[in-house]
Structure 1
Amino acid sequence: MAPTTSEPYPPELSSAEIDQLIFTIKDWTIAHGLAVRPPPALVATENDPNVILATTAPVTIFPSPFPRVCFDQARSIQVAYNNLYASIAQDETFLEEIVQEILEVDEFIAELWKVHLKVKEEGYSQSISLGLFRSDYMVHQATDDTQPVIKQVEFNTIASSFGGLSLQTSKLHKYLSSISYPLLQQPLNLGEELPHNSSTSSLASGIRTAFEAYSKGKTPHKCCVLFIVQDPERNIFDQRHLEYEVQQNGSPIPVFRLPYSQIAAQTSLASTPLRQLLFHPPNNPSQTFEAAVVYFRAGYGPSDYPDASAWEARYQIERSHAIKCPSILTQLAGAKKVQQVLATPDDSSNPSILSRFMTTSPSETTVLSKTFTNIFPLDTTPSGLHARKIALDPELCKGYVLKPQREGGGNNIYRTAIPPFLNSLPETHWKSYILMEIITPPPVHNTILRNGLVEKGGVICELGIYGTCLWDCNTKEILHNEEAGYLLRTKGDKSEEGGVAAGFGSMDSVRLV
């Protein structure tokens, strides 16, 4: 996967060259919002009581080489993946089968399902759903002589982050390629090797499309978009880029940030059959907006639901007429258990479950299935019992990762940590996890700038392809479906986790090779 030139990549840099690049990157990133709030390890909370500080997001100094064939493959199948997960989100029977397997041992999944059942009993007000998805991949190359292929790490249906910072990272590397890299002792001019990235504008287009679909109806109030967020939020600038794009492109759309903990205080439901979601800005409570789209950048993990009032807030939004991104069922479609079931290979007695959702395109079923890696349940089925033997074996476990039904990074258990972790849990809880074969990509080298310090060496890259999809659950019609740009996250090859916000990975962009 290294560039096919005689020159090493990235080039060896003198200390003066490194200093100059860091100087340029630090200023460019702050000037262009490629930034995060500093972590407590860097700036203690008491030293920034008014939350005014920002720092460069962890970022690579060079774009990482990535096989063009793999990049093109990942982009080409995103529309099919959007269709697949829109179909799964509409198949309540299938999702119920998934949930029933794990709800006894996964309280979070059980509570999400309870919200759905409660709204279903009353009757859903809104049939249209929005998905801002991201499908994550790593390159797999069995031998040096074989063609590299992509293997899916996971599919994200809620809070698919970094679209805003990804575009800025692409712009940073293009800027460096035109201004700084040509001045190195080993000059670089990457030019067309840096692909176009539309992540911010394309994700915003998905939100605007949902907003326009909602606004076709009669609305007594001015409509808005609500970003449901965590508070505090270190990754705020990533969200702001998307927010500004929604607001500024074409006709201005009011966008408000609503901390999850303030949903009850700042929203209410109209006393109408549609149950419109009304938002009352805290800076001007006399004004009332009707929420056309609710975009969740919080609510994906148990920590966002500390008490019953948090679940009541989610219920209020779910039963409202606002278009949700995602709805409860769409969020559940992203559970790791769903990924495991989809990846189960077919045989003569058990055809692939993909055929249930991809009825109109058998060729797409084949293409998607080729991106799956080996994923096993940890239940008491024959496949699950086989996986348990692997997971508990001190040698075999070294090729696997254990994943819970969670989003957000930092939740997985790797390699030799798997047996003691499982042995610390009751066996009845094991079925809430999946066992996934670790994808081992070809070696890549790069340099990462994190918290002002340089980290140099081997790295592992994870490609995310964004997709936007809008569908009507009543008519089964897909109203909008597009591939929506890309994200490249890179981590040191000794790190297991890759989450940037969680402190493991760094922002990167693609150099096609």
Structure 2
Amino acid sequence: MEAHSGHSYPPALSSLESARLVQVVKDWTLGKGLAVRPPPTAVTAETELLGTLGMSAPVTLFPSPFPKVCFDQARSVQKAYNELYAKISQNETFISQIVADVAGGDDFIANLWAVHLRVKKEGYAQPLSLGLFRSDYMVHQDRGSAQDAHARPQIKQVEFNTIASSFGGLSTKISELHKFLALTEYPLLRDPSSHFTYDLPANESTRGLAAGIRSAFEAYGPSDLGFSTCVVFLVQRGERNVFDQRHLEYELQRQSAVPVFRLPFAEILTRTSIADSGRRQLLYRLPSNPERIFEVAVVYFRSGYGPADYAQPSDWDARYQIERSAAIKCPTVLTQLAGAKKVQQVLATPKSSSSPSELSKFIPEDAPQYQDVWQTFTNIYPMDGSEAGLAARKLATDPEQCQKYVLKPQREGGGNNFYRSAIPPYLKSIPESHWNSYILMELITPPPVTNVILRNGNLEKGGVICELGRYGACLWNQDTGDILYNEDAGYLLRTKGDQSEEGGVAAGFGCMDSCNLV
């Protein structure tokens, strides 16, 4: 894909130009907080304990060309997706069937469901639910014929994230970086292709996500117990992506001076308690001043999305304590389960002559939002014992056919999937009774793009694959179904080398990027 007709992209750089641009980017990223903590292998144990170091997040030197029609498509459908997943989280019967389909081979999903059932038995204390979502897409363009070469590109959904949708803080920063470079550095390059106007869309993901948290904080209202109310970010110990989270915190405090505290997931039972009242308010004690108590209005999960966060049985008790409390959760267990890959597969199953599509249970077929959402789906298949599942098992275990697919478990975060030739041996390594906890997705074929990645001080130039994430913020009443807040909340572009399968930035596969609309 060329950014400007008749010119290659990105612009060619001489060694001197490259050195200058790299230095400018390094200084800007550290000066503006487009940064991460260094990995343990890069620092001494003593320095790591002091927590004094940061390093530039991996970034592209240029914004990647991205079809404007696809960018607009993702933006226009986000509010419909927000409402769709709010409705899914309210449909306990639907989610219970999803859990039944996959829990036999997935203890993590089964344990999440057990937390919900445990709270349901005593009754939920808080009907309001907050979602900070991210819907991830790749550009798809049919290939193989002369007609395909002129086919209009469209987005196809990779996944929908309902918990710990990261990089909203850094995505605003990378957009600002590329705008800065377009004004100050690109015009100085010798290559003529660098002198054209860049179409760099505004990106207010930090503001949009913080506004979603603020809407929940305000909806919670003042404390009945006379305490100051606060927001708690549940985080992982040793979090490298701390600055991404801090940017949301700083923006939230800038917007309305909301007290925000970071609480490691492993310390929930130590630092919080449930008030001895009918409302079951969640109380938080400052570790630096245990006599100072805050009432928690909103709990924002940036941890708790994978089995590693539940190393001890007490960690499940901690999740139960949060879930049964009166704090507004982002997300609740039901909303987290709504983000399971199995939900995505079921929604993308076409209707048959004998039954409607599952999507139509949540969005009427005659509503314009139905087609808007449906057009983003790609081919996804179950791996169960149904007719469709048995057909998918054949594809997944065939050495030739599997080259077109990715096998996905019910997990968030990078590094969990199995691609192409890795699928058959992996399936052989696990009991066949566990296969139904996976889905098989047809690989999306994005058009070729070239860029330069700056990672750990080194440049990597070549073909890249871009993945667009669209953020959404939604607050709803789980009992009545009322939507109290529903907004698009900016975008994320992650880019990786075209030889890499996984795209997670925090997992070390991808880098931060922004869109140059073409």
- State whether TM-score is above 0.5: yes
Contact 1:490-1:506 at 8 Å conserved across structures: yes
Matched residue, 2:400: 395
1:202 aligns with one of 191, 200, 208: 208
Matched residue, 2:356: 351
Contact 1:42-1:451 at 8 Å conserved across structures: no
Matched residue, 2:62: 62
Q: Are the structure 2 counterparts of residues 4 and 144 from structure 1 closer, same or farther at C-alpha, using a change threshold of 3 Å?
A: farther
Matched residue, 1:242: 248
Q: Partners of 2:423 and 2:41 in 1: how far apart?
A: 28
Write the deviation string for residues 364-407 of structure 1: whole angstroms up to 9, x where unpaired.
Answer: 11221111011001000000000000000000000100000000
Secondary structure in 2 aligned to 1:124?
Answer: coil
Secondary structure in 2 aligned to 1:417?
Answer: helix
Contact 2:182-2:198 at 8 Å conserved across structures: no
Paired residue type of 2:185: S
Deviation at 1:352, TM superposition (A): 0.8
Contact 2:402-2:420 at 8 Å conserved across structures: yes
Q: How does 1:413-428 map to 2 (within 5 A)?
A: 413-428=418-433
Q: Are the structure 2 counterparts of residues 190 and 318 from structure 1 closer, same or farther at C-alpha, using a change threshold of 3 Å?
A: farther
Q: Partners of 1:400 and 1:431 in 2: how far apart?
A: 16
2:157 aligns with one of 152, 159, 171: 152
1:138 and 2:138 aligned? yes
Matched residue, 2:437: 432
Contact 2:40-2:48 at 8 Å conserved across structures: no
Higher mean displacement: 99-108 or 387-396? 99-108
Contact 1:471-1:478 at 8 Å conserved across structures: yes
Secondary structure in 2 aligned to 1:75?
Answer: helix
CA RMSD in angstroms comes to 1.2
Write the deviation string for residues 233-287 of structure 1: whole angstroms up to 9, x where unpaired.
Answer: 00000000000001111x3110000000111110000001110000000001111
Matched residue, 1:75: 75
1:473 and 2:473 aligned? no
Matched residue, 1:310: 315
1:261 and 2:266 aligned? yes
Paired residue type of 1:395: E
Write the deviation string for residues 38-95 of structure 1: whole angstroms up to 9, x where unpaired.
Answer: 1234335455331211100000000000000000000000000001000000000000
Paired residue type of 1:201: R
1:281 and 2:320 aligned? no
Paired residue type of 2:419: Y
Q: Partners of 1:366 and 1:229 in 2: how far apart?
A: 37
2:340 aligns with one of 332, 335, 338: 335
Q: TM-score when scaled to structure 1?
A: 0.98
Q: How does 1:68-147 map to 2 (within 5 A)?
A: 68-142=68-142, 143-147=148-152
1:213 and 2:213 aligned? no
Q: How many residues align?
A: 512
Contact 2:472-2:489 at 8 Å conserved across structures: yes
Matched residue, 2:229: 223
Q: TM-score when scaled to structure 2?
A: 0.97
1:504 aligns with one of 471, 489, 509: 509
Secondary structure in 1 aligned to 2:155?
Answer: strand
Structure 2 unpaired stretches of 5+: 143-147
Contact 2:88-2:362 at 8 Å conserved across structures: yes
Contact 1:129-1:325 at 8 Å conserved across structures: yes
Contact 2:99-2:113 at 8 Å conserved across structures: yes
Task: Give the share of equivalent positions with the same residue, in percent.
Answer: 63
Matched residue, 1:26: 26
Write the deviation string for residues 112-146 of structure 1: whole angstroms up to 9, x where unpaired.
Answer: 00000000000000000000000000000003210
Contact 1:36-1:55 at 8 Å conserved across structures: yes
Structure 1 unpaired stretches of 5+: none
Q: Partners of 1:290 and 1:216 in 2: how far apart?
A: 9
Paired residue type of 2:209: L
Higher mean displacement: 202-211 or 101-110? 101-110
Matched residue, 1:300: 305
Contact 1:178-1:189 at 8 Å conserved across structures: no
Q: Are the structure 2 counterparts of residues 45 and 408 from structure 1 closer, same or farther at C-alpha, using a change threshold of 3 Å?
A: farther
